[in-house]
Structure 1
Amino acid sequence: MVRWKSTIRELSAEARLHFYARSLSRRTGASAPHIGLYGACALIAVLVISTLSAHPF
């Protein structure tokens, strides 16, 4: 009986670990487009600022 309970406990701990890993993977996948968007905005900002500083109005 004790062995059965420890086996169930190990299985539930493993299931929690897999669930946590999948949720991390989902969050990372969702943030990849955000990184691209922020990177593009930063590049545009750098281009605008450098253009204005080289040839001001």
Structure 2
Amino acid sequence: MHIVNELLKTLANDMTRLYRYLLTGYEREVRPAVRHDRPIYVTFVFSLTQIIDVVGRSIID
């Protein structure tokens, strides 16, 4: 168990270092677009990985 905890700490440190390296100097206010007068279209895709509970449909007379 100790080895797993140490491995997780190392991975967390590596991810933190990578995050800082990639985002150093990044400006949130700057819009990343070639033409600032045109909209940016974003496609968002997700999938359901687990169903926790299903509640039956209530029938009202």
Query: With structure 2 as the length reference, what TM-score do the two structures score?
Result: 0.42
- Greater percentage in helix: 1
Point out the structure with max Rg over C-alpha: 1
Query: With structure 1 as the length reference, what TM-score do the two structures score?
Result: 0.45
